[in-house]
């Protein structure tokens, strides 16, 4: 053995506090076994006890290549005889094994100890496990009261979401940064693999950009994250492939590729029923982001899912159901204190693409998306956030982007104050919202009102004053903690959305052909990206509600929820309606959603089962179709 290597191994053995027969155990575990019973009990309490008395195997001695990690590496190298004299022909294999040993025994334990072990172990994901549980902890008063209506969080804001007391998932969070994962340095993200199945028709299990058709759909995501000083970067591409088996489509009167398009407005929205008649796959940038965050301001770029407004299940302007899209942004990283209120805002500019089944198949198919979202927190009303959002679709400018026409548009009065300034070539959506987190009551309540198209002047036919519910939708929701202890959090939650055409709009918008939100006559892709709705599919002229209970414990989460969604009650073709009766039977889905999340060391898995019945599918009265949707997601390292 080389003298330098021998000396290095000797120093490791002399500094390591774990003898060779304890390799693979933690120091805390071994010391506890040698101590008297009473001392073992005290030591276990200090180390953290897992479910049913299992010791949580987390010690600082595996962090940053400490004594235990070095002893493990030493044992691995010596036992494999990698450093003994070997034939020259095997030197490449030896080097490969050395690298594998270093990755296995250094990179993975350090990753597990320094970063929160939830989701990808990177930035907080919209709708992810960290996002959901941190919101519960805020309702319990364990994390600071900061706005939740602009996501993804800037790193500075995410760092503030550290729990002030014990909770069931404390072993999954980093003690310094909570779930922010924003410490200086670089690390590999926890890889993710997901498998989804639908027995009868497409049903989405989880966020986009993955589209789950009939049959099996597989998804994989991996990448890395790094931060230094004011810069925070994450690269997390995602790939998915859907089997996309055939199922009966609702007739829309179209031919060619458009026969797969939306059943109601195939010429006015890019929301296919099915993505062709073959397997469908896509490579997406995924949750990749770059933040420059300093002095209360943030600028950057992202392709990660975004969420505007307080809704968890049915966001109206932007939500995670479509995945992300290329966006540059600037705004506040944490709320700006203006004494009367705290202001939090973000300005975005995006590039929006379409699917191969869009009604626009020639010419300029790209769109420029621009928008602004902001919240205020009034002084003297802790936990209350009031806000608004505005998002504009426009044709991608062929001659370049100018500040006055494109960059300045989200900040202009636009068509808010004047009917004459309405631009026929753009599609604009907006909402106002509020959320009130009440830690004393361990609850929160929230709502959002959405409106589309130009409001016009005071006495115009579509005046905001005279017809406030024209092309509108609303969401209402609540969340209440029933049990809060360091071993169990039990939460009940509910949310409802409705975008059906109001009875006041039957003359203007039509009674037989009701016009829903998200469609447009000029921007024929509608409020979508890559064939998926940017808000909530249930808000596309339909209605839905969901009521559920979540149990959070040291071993994971279990959830059960009941939900109903009305897909539609009108089709352009009369062949699918019940012509023997004056009443049209709507297409309605009832579903029971069961989820189980379990932690295992550095990994976790989540199983989802959703049995459902679709009543009067495609408006065929009595055509009730059962579908079983199931999903299995794995995060982490084996």
Q: What angle, 0 to 180 degrees and rounded to 10, lies between the N-to-C axes of helices 67-80 and 91-102?
A: 160
Q: Distance between CA atoms of 214 and 627, rounded to whole angstroms?
A: 9
364 and 299, same structural domain?
A: yes
What is the tens place of the pLDDT at every residue in 222-259? 999 999 999 999 999 999 999 999 999 999 889 989 99
Asked whether the predicted pLDDT for residue 177 surpasses 70, the reply is no
171 and 53, same structural domain?
A: no
What is the tens place of the pLDDT at every residue in 324-372? 999 999 999 999 999 999 999 999 999 999 999 999 988 788 999 999 9
614 and 541, same structural domain?
A: yes
Residue 250 lies inside a defined structural domain of this protein: yes
Residue 120 lies inside a defined structural domain of this protein: no
Residue 122 lies inside a defined structural domain of this protein: no
136 and 9, same structural domain?
A: no
**Pick from 114, 147, 170: which residue ends a domain?**
114
Instruction: Give the up-direction half-sphere exposure of residue 542: CA atoms within 13 A in the CB hemisphere.
Output: 21
181 and 109, same structural domain?
A: no
Asked whether the predicted pLDDT for residue 309 surpasses 50, the reply is yes
Contact partners, residue 79, CB within 8 Å, separation at least 6:
none
136 and 110, same structural domain?
A: no
Q: Distance between CA atoms of 522 and 536, rounded to whole angstroms?
A: 21
**Phi–psi pair at 430, nearest 5 degrees:** -155, 160
**Pick from 61, 87, 114: which residue ends a domain?**
114
The residue among 409 and 429 whose pLDDT is bigger is 429
Band of residue 88 on the pLDDT scale cut at 50, 70, 90: very low
Band of residue 635 on the pLDDT scale cut at 50, 70, 90: very high
User: Whose CA is closest to 371, among 291, 313, 317, 325?
Assistant: 317
253 and 165, same structural domain?
A: yes
* 637, 108 Cβ separation under 8 angstroms: yes
| Percent over 70 (pLDDT), the chain | 72
Q: Which domain holds residue 357?
A: 129-635
Asked whether the predicted pLDDT for residue 303 surpasses 70, the reply is yes
What is the tens place of the pLDDT at every residue in 31-72? 344 444 444 444 444 334 344 343 333 333 333 334 433 343
357 and 216, same structural domain?
A: yes
Band of residue 14 on the pLDDT scale cut at 50, 70, 90: very low
* 522, 269 Cβ separation under 8 angstroms: no
Question: If DSSP states are collapsed to H, E and C, what string results for 368-424?
Answer: EEEEEEEEEEECCCCCEEEEEEEEEEEECCCCCCCHHHHHCHHHCCCCCCCCCCCCC
For the ranges 7-11, 140-144, 498-502, 572-576, the one whose mean pLDDT is highest? 140-144
Residue 273 lies inside a defined structural domain of this protein: yes
Residue with tokens 């979508």: 528
User: What pLDDT score was predicted for residue 415?
Assistant: 53
* 356, 378 Cβ separation under 8 angstroms: no
Residue with tokens 């990698």: 82
Across residues 5-20, what is the average pLDDT? 39
What is the tens place of the pLDDT at every residue in 458-479? 555 556 666 777 778 999 999 9
553 and 420, same structural domain?
A: yes
Residue 522 lies inside a defined structural domain of this protein: yes
Instruction: Give the up-direction half-sphere exposure of residue 471: CA atoms within 13 A in the CB hemisphere.
Output: 20
Residue 119 lies inside a defined structural domain of this protein: no
143 and 97, same structural domain?
A: no
Band of residue 416 on the pLDDT scale cut at 50, 70, 90: low
User: What pLDDT score was predicted for residue 568?
Assistant: 85
**Pick from 114, 140, 167: which residue ends a domain?**
114
Domain count, the chain: 2
172 and 110, same structural domain?
A: no
∠ CA 131-316-586 to the nearest 5 degrees?
115
Please tell me the pTM assigned to this model.
Answer: 0.80
Residue 330 lies inside a defined structural domain of this protein: yes
Cis peptide before 152 (omega within 30 of 0): yes
Band of residue 176 on the pLDDT scale cut at 50, 70, 90: low
Residue 123 lies inside a defined structural domain of this protein: no
Asked whether the predicted pLDDT for residue 21 surpasses 60, the reply is no
207 and 303, same structural domain?
A: yes
The residue among 232 and 422 whose pLDDT is bigger is 232
Across residues 620-634, what is the average pLDDT? 96
> Does an H or E element contain 111, and which?
helix 108-114
CATH code for position 320: 2.40.160.130
User: What pLDDT score was predicted for residue 406?
Assistant: 73
């Amino acid at each position: 053995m080389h003298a330098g290597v021998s000396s290095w191994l000797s120093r490791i053995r002399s500094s390591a506090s774990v003898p060779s027969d304890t390799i693979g155990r933690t120091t805390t575990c071994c010391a506890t076994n040698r101590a008297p019973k009473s001392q073992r009990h005290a030591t276990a309490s200090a180390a953290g006890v897992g479910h049913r008395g299992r010791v949580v195997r987390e010690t600082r001695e595996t962090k940053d290549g400490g004594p235990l990690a070095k002893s493990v590496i030493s044992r691995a190298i010596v036992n494999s005889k990698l450093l003994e004299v070997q034939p020259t022909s095997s030197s490449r294999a030896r080097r490969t094994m050395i690298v594998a040993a270093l990755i296995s025994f250094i990179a993975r334990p350090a990753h597990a100890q320094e970063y929160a072990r939830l989701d990808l172990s990177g930035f907080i994901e919209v709708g992810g496990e960290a996002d959901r549980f941190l919101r519960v902890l805020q309702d319990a008063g364990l994390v600071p009261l900061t706005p939740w209506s602009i996501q993804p969080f800037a790193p500075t804001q995410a760092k503030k979401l550290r729990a002030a007391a014990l909770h069931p998932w404390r072993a999954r969070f980093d003690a310094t940064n909570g779930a922010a994962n924003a410490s200086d340095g670089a690390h590999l993200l926890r890889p993710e693999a997901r498998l989804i199945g639908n027995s009868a028709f497409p049903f989405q299990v989880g966020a986009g950009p993955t589209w789950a058709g009939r049959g099996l759909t597989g998804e994989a995501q991996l990448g890395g994250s790094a931060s230094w000083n004011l810069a925070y970067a994450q690269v997390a591409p995602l790939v998915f492939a859907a089997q996309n088996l055939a199922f009966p489509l609702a007739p829309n009167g179209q031919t060619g590729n458009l026969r797969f398009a939306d059943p109601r407005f195939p010429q006015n929205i890019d929301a296919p029923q099915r993505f062709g008649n073959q397997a469908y796959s896509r490579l997406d940038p995924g949750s990749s982001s770059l933040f420059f965050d300093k002095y209360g301001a943030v600028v950057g770029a992202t392709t990660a899912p975004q969420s505007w407004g307080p809704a968890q299940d049915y966001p109206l302007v932007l939500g995670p159901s479509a995945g992300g899209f290329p966006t540059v942004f600037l705004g506040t990283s944490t709320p700006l204190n203006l004494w009367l209120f705290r202001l939090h805002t973000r300005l975005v500019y995006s590039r929006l693409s379409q699917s191969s089944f869009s009604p626009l198949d020639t010419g300029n198919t790209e769109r420029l998306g621009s928008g602004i979202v902001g919240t205020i927190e009034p002084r003297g009303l802790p936990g209350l956030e009031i806000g608004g959002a505005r998002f504009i679709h426009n044709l991608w400018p062929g001659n370049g982007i100018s500040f006055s026409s494109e960059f300045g548009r989200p900040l202009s009065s636009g068509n808010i104050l004047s009917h004459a300034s309405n631009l026929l070539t753009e599609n604009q959506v907006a909402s106002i919202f509020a959320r009130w987190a009440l830690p004393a009551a361990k609850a929160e309540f929230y709502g959002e009102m959405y409106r589309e198209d130009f409001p016009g002047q005071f006495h115009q036919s579509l005046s905001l004053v005279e017809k406030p519910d024209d092309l509108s939708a609303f969401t209402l929701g609540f969340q209440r903690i029933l049990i809060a202890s360091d071993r169990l959090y039990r939460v009940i939650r509910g949310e409802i959305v409705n975008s059906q055409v109001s009875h006041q709009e039957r003359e203007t918008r039509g009674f037989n052909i009701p016009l829903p939100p998200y469609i447009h006559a000029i921007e024929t892709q509608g409020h979508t990206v890559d064939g998926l709705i940017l808000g909530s599919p249930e808000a596309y002229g339909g209605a839905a509600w969901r009521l559920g209970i979540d149990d959070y414990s040291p071993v994971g989460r279990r959830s059960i929820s009941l939900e109903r969604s009305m897909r539609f009650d009108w089709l352009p073709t009369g062949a699918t309606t019940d012509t023997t009766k004056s009443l049209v039977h709507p297409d309605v889905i009832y579903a029971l959603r069961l989820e189980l999340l379990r932690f295992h060391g550095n990994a976790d898995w989540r199983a989802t089962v959703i049995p459902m019945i679709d009543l009067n599918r495609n408006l065929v009265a009595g055509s009730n179709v059962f579908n079983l949707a199931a999903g299995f997601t794995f995060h982490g390292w084996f």
